[in-house]
């Protein structure tokens, strides 16, 4: 009887801090750790994954149709995270491959708190202040005057699991005037989270700070470009804990250079990982962290447990993964694990 082969792709944390997650998988599956460049092409990636029955995938690399078509044994692909924008879901569905992900509630507190941390760092010059001390430039503090959050208009794009929590923290904790835009949230729920519903255009024009809390889709890709940056409040802070591709980077760079945008505090960058030579990293009014939003002990445990639970459900119980990103696969000729 053959064991399923589960490939752990580009994850630096799964199984590292919670040994029980790995031991549970090893009890019924063979494990293969795979690390590849984030920009690897689909055919080359397929050479690493073609024998896998299951994949636990990080946020990179992209897993396109070209890869999935060559993974003839693949039954389950689990994203070790919330977003599935690096997976060709249409191809996976056509091929009968289940794609599951972590429920938003697992990362809710971690990412919301991190977004608020980035907002505070950007609005109160925390990084510049710390750097000044390290550079023996204490006296430069006079140029580091920041903005208080209380009473300011803070815009939230996306009021789902994480966005709603950020709204609660800002409105009920800081006393901010929270406005939000999300066409997929019932109108009567905005007030529940302490937010006022506004159009995206109004949010962009009136907010002293803006937080992204939406997924990357065809609808949201490059949703902030030159026209949007030009219409923002002067010295606004933009916080991004979602995906770098939500903004037009050329327009963002121009807005930061000319002072249209006060600060870009981001945990994500298009084409990540990046290094200090990236043009955004060279600007004084940017704060960039290496995709740490979900990196709390509580969140990482929940993420790992989700991956384990889905693998157990599919490979031991011949069942269905919990949070399917492509539920349509259940209406197709869904692949089923067969040990022989």
One of 79, 80, 101, 243 is an active-site residue; which one? 243
Q: Beta strands of the chain (E only): which ranges?
A: 5-9, 30-34, 54-57, 76-79, 98-100, 153-157, 177-181, 195-197, 209-212, 236-240, 261-266, 286-288
In the residue annotation, 243 being an active-site residue is answered as yes
Please give the Cα distance from 57 to 32 (Å, whole number): 12
Among candidate residues 80, 101, 291, 335, the one labeled active-site is 291
11 Cβ contact list (under 8 Å, min separation 6): 56, 57, 58, 80
Active site residue 272: yes
For 129, residues 6+ apart whose C-beta sits below 8 A from its C-beta are 141, 144
270, 272, 301, 328: the catalytic one is 272
Total residue length of the chain? 340
Cis peptide before 61 (omega within 30 of 0): yes
Longest dimension (CA), the chain: 71
65 in catalytic set: no
Label residues 117-132 b or e (16+ Cβ within 10 Å = b).
bbbbbbbbbbbbbeeb
Residues tagged active-site: 243, 272, 291
């Amino acid at each position: 009887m053959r064991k399923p082969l589960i490939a752990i792709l580009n994850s630096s944390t799964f199984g590292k801090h919670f040994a029980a997650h790995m031991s549970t998988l090893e009890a019924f599956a063979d494990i293969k750790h795979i690390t590849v460049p984030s920009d690897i092409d689909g055919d080359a990636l397929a050479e690493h994954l073609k024998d896998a029955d299951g994949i636990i995938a990080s946020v990179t690399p992209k897993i396109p149709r070209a890869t999935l078509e060559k993974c003839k044994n693949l039954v389950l692909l689990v994203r070790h995270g919330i977003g599935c924008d690096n997976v060709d879901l249409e191809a996976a569905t056509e091929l009968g491959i289940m794609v599951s992900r972590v429920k938003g509630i697992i990362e809710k507190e971690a990412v919301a708190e991190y977004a608020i941390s980035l907002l505070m760092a950007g609005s109160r010059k925390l990084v510049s202040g710390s750097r000044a001390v390290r550079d023996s430039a204490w006296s430069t503090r006079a140029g580091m005057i920041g903005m208080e959050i209380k009473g300011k208009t803070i815009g939230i794009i996306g009021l789902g699991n994480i966005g709603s929590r950020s709204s609660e923290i800002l409105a009920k904790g800081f006393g901010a005037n929270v406005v939000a835009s999300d066409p997929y949230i019932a109108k009567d729920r905005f007030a529940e989270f302490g937010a006022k519903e506004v159009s995206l255009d109004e949010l962009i024009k009136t907010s002293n700070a803006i937080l992204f809390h939406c997924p990357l889709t065809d609808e949201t890709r490059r949703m902030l470009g030159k026209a949007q940056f030009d219409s923002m409040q002067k010295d606004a802070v933009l916080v991004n804990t979602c995906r770098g591709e939500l903004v037009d980077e050329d327009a963002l760079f121009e807005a930061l250079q000319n002072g249209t945008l006060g600060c870009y505090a981001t945990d994500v960058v298009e084409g990540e990982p990046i290094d200090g030579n990236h043009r955004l990293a060279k600007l004084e009014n940017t704060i960039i962290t290496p995709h740490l939003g979900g990196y709390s002990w509580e969140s990482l445990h929940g993420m790992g447990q989700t991956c384990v639970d889905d693998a157990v459900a599919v490979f031991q119980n011949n069942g269905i993964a919990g949070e399917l990103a492509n539920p349509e696969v259940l209406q197709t000729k869904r692949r089923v694990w067969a040990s022989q």
